Amino acid sequence: MGKKIMLVDDTKFMRMMLTNILKPKGFEIVAEASDGLEAIDKYKATNPDLVTMDIVMPNMEGIEAVKNIVAADSNAKIIMITAIGQESKVKEAIQAGAKGYVVKPFKAPRVLEEIEKVLG
Amino acid sequence: MSEYKDMFVEEAREHLQTLNQTLVDFEENPKDKDAMNQIFRAAHTLKGMAAAMNYTEIQKLAHKTEDTLDLVRNNQLEVNTGFVDLIFKCFDGLEIMVEEISDKDATSFNIAEIIQNLEKFLGQSEKKNQSNKEIKKPKKNQQKPSLSIDEKTKAKIVKEIDSGRDIYKLDIEVDKTCLMKSIRAFLLLKKLNDIGDIVYAKPNQKMIEDGEFDAGFELIISTQDDMDYVQRQINTVSELSKKNVIQINFENEKLTIGETREENLQLEIDEEKIDRSLSDNIENKEEKQSINSVEKRSQSIRVDMDQLDDFMNLIGELVISKGRLGQIALDHNIDELSETINTFDRLTTELQDKIMNIRMIPMGHIFNRFPRMIRDLAKSSNKKINLIIEGEGIELDRTILDEIGDPLVHLLRNSVDHGIETPSERKKGGKPEEGNIYLIAERKRNHIFITVKDDGKGIDPNEMRKNAIKKGLRTKEEAELLNDQQALDLLWLPGLSSKEEITSVSGRGVGMDVVKSTLEKLNGIVEYTSVINEGSTFSLKLPLTMAIFKSLFVGIDTETYAIPISNIIETVRLTKNDIRKINGVNTTVIRNQVLPLKSLKHILGLRNKTHENLENMFAVVIQKEDKQFGLIVDQLIGEQEITIKNMKGSIKRSKGIAGFTITGDGRVIPVLDLNNLLDKKNMD
């Protein structure tokens, strides 16, 4: 089975870009969430192998979602998708249990490398 | 990239709408942190999207905007109108560029001026806020990693070894291409802290975490795990170009360097390698992919409106064929076919409902731009106006929604320009300084009602009379004969409401007549009431959809015409004896009410035969403005769902004909446009 990925981003556009990078490599996009609250629910429902998590989102930001997901599943593998200038936020996310990060705008190999590394 | 363009444009537009909308809210309530956060997020997201698409100008402007907003968010900048105006200018610039991208894939808009203004503004505020602003410049650290270890560290290491732990020296370098190397380093330090202790770091841990190192750094860790495990942990961190692990031993009272593991990674990842590592799940990959894509995309997709229209047309044809099948079943008395048609009927109805729902878009889609518009208009005319919007969640067919935007803009502009008074005038009149404009959408059965209401000065019937005389639209005598409501209705005359001195607000050469004709084109109605000093109310009544609608087929002589059911109140059968002439007008009495009758044949200009020769006839009761009357037809043929086909050329402009529909048996039937057909001449 392909590794199950959940994409969390408030823009369809970003989720679409990630989908187009991951799908051809055999990853299965099991869920998409557009904010932190939705991410927590869908994580429980689909139990993905890895999550890509945007930081700035409505309702609940990425970091809160990371904290919640890691609290429920300490082995959760979460990669933060971040923009330059958000170093402190990414640090906070890693502190909370995120396992990697990718800086926007990203290229496909960078995303794939990060995911491969974090999946181990 | 271009495959993403449409999606980019669409989402960028949504974000810009949010930005405009929320900034209006924020201006009203600058303490609203949530609003500011929302604005910041939208600007941030827009920046990210533009960067991904390589639209550098949009990215730059969004970035600058975001920076400015961030200062407000962190209370480093005071919010005033100047600030809000400036940010609106930024949004305008972004909007222009997004539209440019949409039209021609590139931007030509010059952002320099906006950016300059932003910087000028920030410069001024900076001076004001200098005291509470601390700019921390990262210090460049030139320290080079070396192998020297001080005595204290040495003692610590020896102690760790004595307690049975392994000591490793790590030589780490971060990829030159790595963005946010401080975070990469932080991620590694966190990993190492999870498996052991960092007993030595050069430069120190704080500096590493802050990214204050050149190419790399040195670490010594103590752990209970073996070298393989340490190496594996380090390998889970990407973007490291060098990651040597050396075990440090303590032999003969000396620290000695043991076996070395060196791994230098290539910078670009080898795609083939990933493919191989995933090969176990790539069998049947293509098959799986196609299944996945169907499954996942069903969550939400964007569809070209034209395709939906084609789909709608096809369903329309299907509905018509269904009618024809029903006719055959009836003519030939085939029970089995009739039963099948019942099922077919249910399915087509369901199909129709579904496609109708797909075409529905919430009113908010057009309402959202109004707060910004009203704010700008109020500001430029020095009025205080509060816009109250309700029912933005109510859905309407996309085609209709696209059409009513402009009429609503016109009505709202009118309310600002002619309705709401200046604060001093309002105060004099005993009203609160701030005027209210209501924009309310409601759904009642198969119609949507949109109300534009203001509590301004209202429309004076005398003014209307004077205006009409001045513009030569009515003679003095004609005008004086009008009652007040009739005088108010002069508003709809072409040429009346376009003001002489064209104001930037409502004077765009578009008059109220255009509002009326647009509504009529949509099978809708616009009505208004006005009370002097209390305000005006415009009510728009619109059908939910225009694509398929029920019509009554009526016969005159040998011809068949379709009348949209939405126009019809009821139908009655008449005999010759039911018709009485009162004051030279044919009338009949229904439920004790006198109903004027008009011959559809006359209205259509078919004068060869008269109804009076018929023993039986029918009246189709319709309403035009506040009057009801009956249209006499020879025959009622039946109800059918129809789709309108637009005709090209001169036939299209035939007065009173909205278009044509094709019946199941291939006949072309004119669809009557009663609003247009029953103009003043025919009403008298």
Q: What number of H helices and E strands is found in chain B? A: 24, 23
Query: Cβ A26–B180 below 8 Å, yes or no?
Result: no
Query: Cβ B277–A116 below 8 Å, yes or no?
Result: yes
On the CB side of B5, CA atoms within 13 Å amount to 14
pLDDT of residue B1: 56
Compute the nearest-CA separation of B235 from chain A (Å).
Answer: 7
Query: Cβ A104–B51 below 8 Å, yes or no?
Result: yes
**pLDDT of B681 strictly over 90:** no
Query: Cβ B236–A58 below 8 Å, yes or no?
Result: no
Helix B398-414 with B512-521: angle, nearest 10 deg: 160
Identify the structural domains of chain A with CATH numbers, from first to last.
4-114 (3.40.50.2300)
**pLDDT of B290 strictly over 50:** no
**pLDDT of B231 strictly over 90:** no
pLDDT in tens, B598-618: 888 888 877 665 555 567 788
pLDDT of residue B152: 79
- Give the three-class secondary structure for B261: strand
Would an 8 Å CB–CB cutoff place A28 in contact with chain B?
Answer: yes
- What the block records as the tokens of B309 is 């229209």
pLDDT of residue B426: 92
pLDDT in tens, B655-675: 777 777 877 666 788 888 777
Distance CA B649, CA B485 (A): 38
Interface confidence (ipTM) of the complex: 0.85
Query: Cβ B238–A82 below 8 Å, yes or no?
Result: no
Q: Which residue of B has its CA nearest to A83?
A: B48
Helix B2-28 with B370-380: angle, nearest 10 deg: 50
Average pLDDT on B3-32 reads: 85
Q: Which residues contact B291 (CB under 8 A, 6 or more apart)?
A: none
Query: Cβ A87–B183 below 8 Å, yes or no?
Result: yes
pLDDT of residue B293: 39
Distance CA B578, CA B601 (A): 19
pLDDT of residue B235: 87
DSSP B530-543: EETTTEEEEEEEEE
Residue A65 pLDDT level (bands cut at 50, 70, 90): very high
Average pLDDT on B390-404 reads: 84
- Candidates B14, B180, B297, partner chain A, best to mutate (most A CBs within 10 A): B180
Query: Cβ B180–A112 below 8 Å, yes or no?
Result: no
**pLDDT of A24 strictly over 50:** yes
φ, ψ of residue B34 in degrees (nearest 5): -60, -40
pLDDT in tens, A103-116: 888 888 899 999 99
Distance CA B415, CA B388 (A): 13
**pLDDT of B90 strictly over 80:** yes
Q: Which of residues 49-68 of B touch A (CB under 8 A)?
A: 49, 51-52, 54
pLDDT of residue B617: 86
CB B661 within 8 A of CB B669: yes
Measure CA of the first residue to CA of the last residue in chain A; give whole Å.
16
pLDDT in tens, B374-391: 988 898 889 999 999 998
Output the average pLDDT for chain B. Answer: 78
Which of B11, B45, B271 minimises the CB distance to A56? B45
- Candidates A12, A55, A57, A64, partner chain B, best to mutate (most B CBs within 10 A): A12
pLDDT in tens, B160-187: 888 888 888 898 998 888 888 888 999 9
Query: Cβ B183–A90 below 8 Å, yes or no?
Result: yes
**pLDDT of B112 strictly over 70:** yes
Distance CA A105, CA B51 (A): 6
Residue B591 gets the label, from left (phi > 0), alpha (psi -120 to 50) or beta, of left
Q: Which residue of B has its CA nearest to A1?
A: B281
pLDDT in tens, B324-348: 787 788 888 888 888 888 888 788 8
Torsion, CA B490, CA B496, CA B502, CA B503, rounded to 10: 0
B36 contacts on A by Cβ (under 8 Å): none
Q: Which of residues 243-272 of B touch A (CB under 8 A)?
A: 268-269, 271
Query: Cβ B271–A117 below 8 Å, yes or no?
Result: no
Q: Which residue of A has its CA nearest to B275?
A: A25
Distance CA B281, CA A25 (A): 10
Measure CA of the first residue to CA of the last residue in chain B; give whole Å.
63
pTM, whole model, 2 decimals? 0.48
pLDDT of residue B265: 37
Query: Cβ A118–B236 below 8 Å, yes or no?
Result: yes
Instruction: For residue B419, give Cα distances in angstroms to B246, B488, B638.
Output: 82, 14, 47
Other C-beta atoms closer than 10 Å to the C-beta of B237 total: 23
pLDDT in tens, B507-539: 444 578 778 888 877 878 888 888 888 999 999
**pLDDT of A32 strictly over 50:** yes
**pLDDT of B212 strictly over 50:** yes
- Candidates B183, B235, B268, B292, partner chain A, best to mutate (most A CBs within 10 A): B183
Answer with the residue of higher pLDDT: B456 or B647.
B456
Average pLDDT on B423-441 reads: 92
pLDDT in tens, B540-570: 988 776 666 778 999 888 888 998 887 788 8
DSSP B272-328: HHHHHHTGGGTTTHHHHHHHHHHHHHTT-----HHHHHHHHHHHHHHHHHHHHHHHH
Question: DSSP label at A3?
Answer: P
Closest to B288 measured CA to CA, from A25, A29, A26: A26
Compute the nearest-CA separation of B355 from chain A (Å).
Answer: 23
In this complex, how many residue pairs, one in chain A and one in chain B, have their CB atoms less than 8 Å apart?
116
pLDDT of residue B613: 58
- Cis amide leading into B543 (omega within 30): no
pLDDT of residue B291: 39
Query: Cβ A84–B179 below 8 Å, yes or no?
Result: yes
Per-position b or e across A23-57, b if 16+ CB within 10 A of its CB: bebbbbbbbbbbbbbbbbebbeebebbbbbbbbbb
pLDDT of residue B114: 87
- Give the three-class secondary structure for B100: helix
pLDDT of residue A18: 92
- Give the three-class secondary structure for B497: coil
Distance CA B45, CA B53 (A): 12
Would an 8 Å CB–CB cutoff place B236 in contact with chain A?
Answer: yes
**pLDDT of B26 strictly over 70:** yes
**pLDDT of B288 strictly over 50:** no
Would an 8 Å CB–CB cutoff place A117 in contact with chain B?
Answer: yes
pLDDT of residue B679: 66
Compute the nearest-CA separation of B148 from chain A (Å).
Answer: 30
Q: Which residue of A has its CA nearest to B297?
A: A16
Query: Cβ B52–A104 below 8 Å, yes or no?
Result: yes
- Cis amide leading into A58 (omega within 30): no
